[in-house]
Structure 1
Amino acid sequence: MYAALWRVLPGPVWLRIILLLLLLAAAVFALFTWVFPWVDGIVNPIEVTVDT
């Protein structure tokens, strides 16, 4: 998968590295902005079932 992504990106090596870092930053931003809050609404960590 990573090799295919590397081949698809245009430009020289330095540009590919910058593009990969930007894609990684966009993925992390999307996770923290939309995915994690959505999952937090589904999975409530306050309701535990383990007795102490």
Structure 2
Amino acid sequence: MYAALWRILPGPVWVRVLILILLAAVVIAALVQWVFPWAADLLLPQDSSVGGP
């Protein structure tokens, strides 16, 4: 998968590396902004039974 992604990116190596860094930053930002808060609502850590009476 990574080799296929590397082959379809345009430009010399430094441009490909820059594009991959930007893509990674966008994916991480999307995870922090939307996916992690959505998942936190589903997990409900206050419903834990560890250490309860």
TM-score (norm 1): 0.91
Shift of 1:51: 3.0
Higher helix share: 2
- Consecutive unaligned residues of structure 2, counting only runs of 5 or more, are none
Count of aligned residue pairs for this structure pair: 52
Tell me the C-alpha RMSD between the 2 structures. Answer: 1.1
TM-score (norm 2): 0.89
Percent identity over paired residues: 52
SS of the residue corresponding to residue 30 of structure 2 reads helix
Question: Partner of 2:28 in structure 1?
Answer: 28
Q: Are 1:41 and 2:41 an aligned pair?
A: yes
Code of the aligned partner of 1:6: W
- Consecutive unaligned residues of structure 1, counting only runs of 5 or more, are none
Q: Hey, which bits of structure 1, 4+ residues long, moved more than 3 A?
A: none
